[in-house]
Amino acid sequence: MSILDEHREALARLERESRIRWLVPRNGRDFSSNDYLGLANARELREAVRKALDRDVAIGAGGSRLLRGNDPEHEALEQEAAAFFGSESALFFANGFTANSSLFAALPNRHDLIVYDALIHASVHDGMRLSFAEKKQAAHNDPQAFEDAIAAWRAAGGKGRVWIAVESLYSMDGDKSPIAALAEIADRHEACLVIDEAHAAGVFGAEGRGLAAELADRDNVIRLVTCGKALGCEGALLLGPKVIVDMLVNTGRGFVFSTAPSPLMAAAVRTSLSMIRRPQRRERLQHLITAATKAIGVNSGSQIIPVIIGDDAETMRIATTLQKLGFDVRGIRPPTVPRGTSRLRVSITLNVDEADIAALGVQLRALCG
């Protein structure tokens, strides 16, 4: 059997299991994107890009940040982001996946322990695979499970640093992390708490600063804010103490050996940060979340509403039907979510209105019973 035949068989197996993935063009009313505040196509961001081009901001960086790719726009964004999010320092990455994987591959050492939430993002798992630190999984959103994992490791002779990896708002369930309790655990064990704010920044917190904004100035907290979701742009900002940023500039392989993000995108993110300060979009989104909770009958407490179907094939059948009806709803299957929890991930954004939400609710009730 040739290597191509092996891959054809692997794809055929995925199709038999109703787990094949394919690219689907965006079409219909947006109930699947992470453009929560509707900024991705906002006139003000378009104008910011035009103005940046007029002042000769480069489209491409031309190299890694440590070579010739370090642009004044990168540095200006990092300074403004650190000030806005209340951290000592910030580092701009090409995307959140690279930021997460670089951090966990570089910072925890072979004597350390990483305790991670059971539903932590794939990017953290990839970073942990490259780390020599010991890893322990904790039950989802269960502070006692984190406490017990740390205590068991110490009792077995663990002497190094503990790293706690969580998301402030989980991307497939839409539920919020018990941040305050986890921060107390981190303080008690002199641990470093790493919080991925990808789906919370821009939507929650004072002026959209995220669910963990009150922890921003702690020296044992690192936060990640992605720029391609509520901020409507591209890239990611790692926020924390300057010594952490300096370490990643020196040892974060995803930063050191990658071409720098577009300076033009850095300019766009700077404008986006000024836009999310204003309350109108967040208030409008909260109004739509309330409407969606009522129409769909699921209360996640956020703009991400999971409609659990369970069966993989049935999930995709319903998603395809909804798409044909003009609702861009996507089905999510293992391994993205645990086996037996395939679902429709309904995302509420400012790209829809109350009438769209009500119409989707009617179709969901008809299709899901």
Active site residues: 34, 121, 167, 171, 196, 199, 229
Burial of 244 from C-beta contacts in 10 A (0-12 / 13-18 / 19+): buried
Which residues are 165's β-sheet partners?
A: 116, 194
Residue 355 burial by CB count (10 A; 0-12/13-18/19+): exposed, middle or buried?
exposed
Residue type (1 letter), 118: A
Contact 171, 121 (CB under 8 A): yes
For 171, which DSSP code?
T
Q: Which of helix, strand or coil describes residue 301?
A: coil
Beta partners for 130? none
CA nearest 248: which of 99, 123, 87? 99
CA distance 94 to 72: 16
Q: Which secondary-structure segment (H or E) carries 124?
A: helix 122-129
DSSP per-residue string spanning 175-235: PBP-HHHHHHHHHHTTPEEEEE-TTTTTTSSGGG--TTGGGTT-TTEEEEEESSSTT-S--
Please report the DSSP string for 63-122 in residue order. SBIIIII--HHHHHHHHHHHHHHT-SEEEEES-HHHHHHHHHHHSS-TT-EEEEETT--H
SS3 58: coil
Length of the chain: 369
